[in-house]
Structure 1
Amino acid sequence: MNFLKLNKAALIALALTLSLYSCKKEKPTETETLDRPESLSVNQMSDIKICTERTLDGTTPRGAVITSTKWPNGSTIKVSLNGGTSTVRAKVIQFAKQWEQYANIKFNFVTNDNTAKIRVTFASGGSWSYIGKSTPSTGATMNYGWLTDNTADSEYSRVVIHEFGHALGMIHEHQHPLVSIPWDKPAVYAYYAAAPNYWDEATTDNNIFAKYSTTQTNYSAYDKFSIMHYAVPNELTIGDFEVGWNTVLSPTDKSFIASVYPF
């Protein structure tokens, strides 16, 4: 598990922008279990684009200071839900509050309050969140662009818990300092060079292969079952390695966030 250090600019994790998606578009089936991630293939990922992390000035998010991203322990964080239906807002609250069970942090949910530090909107086109407490003074700091009254609970769980993990300072698990995913780099380059991403090799290097150093993050052991992990199809790795759709907090997620925000 990772905790990002920031220096000057807040990091933004764009999980589902118009051109960058990290979430599976199909609804999970009713038989999908929450504690056993679903595997996937490259074909299943044909319409999926992966999220990126950016600073406000457009630089790579490496080389940062943890004190500027971590909330003070014991904080009550005001979260304003701006827009969306009452059902969608209730679901966001339900799943976001799971972090409170393991972290010494409380979320105070309100509506249409621009003084809130976390300001959630529901504009179509993507789901994303700024990382940690360093957020702009105006505008949205988190967005859910595709959740509806009819979205399955398993999908709410996966997306909402993931984005609020970013809001607490967590980065993507595949960039863990100790990660050793056996990527098939030519296959990965070819996949992300094609539609719908159209990434060049440098972009793929930065968003897929780049890792944080042990001096840049507060971290625990690498965890392929983390809610913060990308799905990784077997076809993009060498040997027999894959990561399915993680939809719930893993045991390591729980213990790690408890160590960062201890009771």
Structure 2
Amino acid sequence: MNNSIPCSIKTLTPDVQVAAATKAIEINPANAPAAQMLQAFAPGVVLPPEHLAVLTSKYWGAGGVRLTVGFMDNPAADLKARILSHMNAWNATANVTFVESSVNPQVRIARENTGYWSYLGTDVLQIPAGQATLNLQGFTMQTADSEFHRVVRHETGHTLGFPHEHMRSEIVNRIDREKAIALFMASQGWSRDQVIAQVLTPIANSALTATAHADIDSIMCYWLPASIMADGIAVNGGLDIDPQDAQFAASIYPKPGVRLNLLVHLQDIGDVVVHENQFGGTRGQSRRLEGFQIDFPTAIPGLGCRYMAHLQDIGDVPWVAAGHFVGTRGQSRRLEGFAIELTGTAAANYNVYYMAHLQDIGDTQIYTNGQFCGTRGQSRRVEGMLVRIEHK
């Protein structure tokens, strides 16, 4: 973020936090704290509602997000359109839409001299109608386009429920605590407690529905100067939505797609079937994926697909059509990469997207329409994969 005006996530007052958490879970049951997180936080203890509220995520429903947007100071139409276009940049991969409305808008944007901030996800529903839920200090049509990419898209990420990436323990553990407190107290006028809350308090991965590793290039990551890092290496922060951001947003808010079944054959487990936009495989278990198969439970006229794989000690194997297994069973042979493409007279009307979780690398970017996903010649196993097909 802008190193002169950092972002802060606005928090609700204690008297509404329990109600906000209840509402968040009502909107998306996956917001409820996971059992393993509660056990790690307070083993054997039944936490009171106010403590559970703090551990509750604030994502909107997995069925998609359509939020109305109003502007507190009624700026010119060209500025409103420009801001909305950057908010809707998240729509490239995720099922999210922001539309302007003057009638009880859910997201209310101000440009007051209070910095860059937003409430987190469903918390915006707790804010009285006459108050802003997101602030873009000083934004005008003369503001550099790079700031629209960096700031508007970042704050919109918070409105979608995405917390700060720099609050992952991987990054927080690298920060020199006292140097950070001194810097942000001096440069931002924050209190010690504010610096601790905004910069130095790690959020457990289980509370984030997070990717495997912190993404220092994420649009949701702060700029952190080398002077406050214990290892002397700066965290530059994100300038725009990066591939991991886009992939994560798509996993939280998947676009409606073509129904499909993805069968994966896993080491020591066997065949497992998942569906469109669902991850098939494992993370963190050192377990190889040995083969896969794609089926369409309901035929779509003119649409098919084919896929190939790169296998340990074999190399590339021929393309096979949907309904056929590619890979091996019972040979202890890892699948190292694959590609998927659409076929048929209707193929031009659709896109196929896919990613993999790779040994020692983690989640890949999203690949599409025949691009190879994985590695060749590195002896690196695919541990899981995800596939979706969308109408253009």
**How far off its partner does 1:184 sit?**
2.3
The separation in 2 between residues aligned to 1:91 and 1:210, in whole angstroms, is: 34
Match of 1:233, as an amino acid? Answer: P
Q: Which moved more, 1:239-248 or 1:84-93?
A: 239-248
Task: Tell me which residue corresponds to 1:29.
Answer: none
Q: Deviations over 1:12-42 (max 9, x none)?
A: xxxxxxxxxx634xxxxxxxxxxxxxxxxxx
* TM-score (structure 2 length as normaliser): 0.50
1:216 aligns with 2:195: no
Q: Deviations over 1:33-89 (max 9, x none)?
A: xxxxxxxxxxxxxxx3543334221589983323x5424422322122341222321
Q: Quote the sequence identity (%).
A: 25
Asked whether the equivalents of residues 49 and 197 of structure 1 are also in contact (C-alpha less than 8 Å), the reply is: no
The separation in 2 between residues aligned to 1:84 and 1:155, in whole angstroms, is: 18
1:128 aligns with 2:117: yes
Change (3 A) 1:127 1:257: same
What SS does the aligned partner of 1:143 have?
Answer: strand
1:55 aligns with 2:11: yes
**How far off its partner does 1:223 sit?**
0.2
The separation in 2 between residues aligned to 1:198 and 1:74, in whole angstroms, is: 36
The separation in 1 between residues aligned to 2:179 and 2:71, in whole angstroms, is: 40
Q: 1:140 aligns with which of 129, 132, 140?
A: 132
Change (3 A) 1:152 1:168: same
Asked whether the equivalents of residues 73 and 105 of structure 1 are also in contact (C-alpha less than 8 Å), the reply is: no
Q: Which runs of 5+ in 1 are unaligned?
A: 1-21, 25-47
Q: Deviations over 1:138-190 (max 9, x none)?
A: 12211222111111100111111001100100111111254455212332232
Match of 1:79, as an amino acid? Answer: V
Asked whether the equivalents of residues 6 and 115 of structure 2 are also in contact (C-alpha less than 8 Å), the reply is: no
Change (3 A) 1:120 1:233: same
The separation in 1 between residues aligned to 2:173 and 2:70, in whole angstroms, is: 37
Task: Tell me which residue corresponds to 2:107.
Answer: 118
**How far off its partner does 1:116 sit?**
1.7
Q: Which moved more, 1:99-108 or 1:222-231?
A: 99-108
Q: 2:93 aligns with which of 88, 97, 102?
A: 102
Task: Tell me which residue corresponds to 1:84.
Answer: 75
Task: Tell me which residue corresponds to 1:23.
Answer: 2
Larger Rg: 2
Asked whether the equivalents of residues 181 and 237 of structure 1 are also in contact (C-alpha less than 8 Å), the reply is: no
1:255 aligns with 2:255: no
The separation in 2 between residues aligned to 1:203 and 1:105, in whole angstroms, is: 31
Q: Which moved more, 1:183-192 or 1:139-148?
A: 183-192
What SS does the aligned partner of 2:230 have?
Answer: coil
Q: 2:60 aligns with which of 70, 92, 98?
A: 70
Asked whether the equivalents of residues 66 and 99 of structure 2 are also in contact (C-alpha less than 8 Å), the reply is: yes
Map 1:145-164 to 2 at 5 A: 145-164=137-156
Match of 1:57, as an amino acid? Answer: T
The separation in 2 between residues aligned to 1:240 and 1:118, in whole angstroms, is: 39
Q: Which runs of 5+ in 2 are unaligned?
A: 18-49, 256-392
Change (3 A) 1:122 1:98: same
What SS does the aligned partner of 1:194 have?
Answer: helix
**How far off its partner does 1:229 sit?**
0.7
Asked whether the equivalents of residues 84 and 121 of structure 1 are also in contact (C-alpha less than 8 Å), the reply is: no
Change (3 A) 1:239 1:74: closer
The separation in 2 between residues aligned to 1:195 and 1:230, in whole angstroms, is: 15
Task: Tell me which residue corresponds to 1:236.
Answer: 228
* TM-score (structure 1 length as normaliser): 0.72
The separation in 2 between residues aligned to 1:259 and 1:104, in whole angstroms, is: 10
Question: Which one has more relative contact order, counting CA pairs under 8 Å at least 6 apart?
Answer: 1
What SS does the aligned partner of 2:54 have?
Answer: coil
The separation in 2 between residues aligned to 1:204 and 1:93, in whole angstroms, is: 30
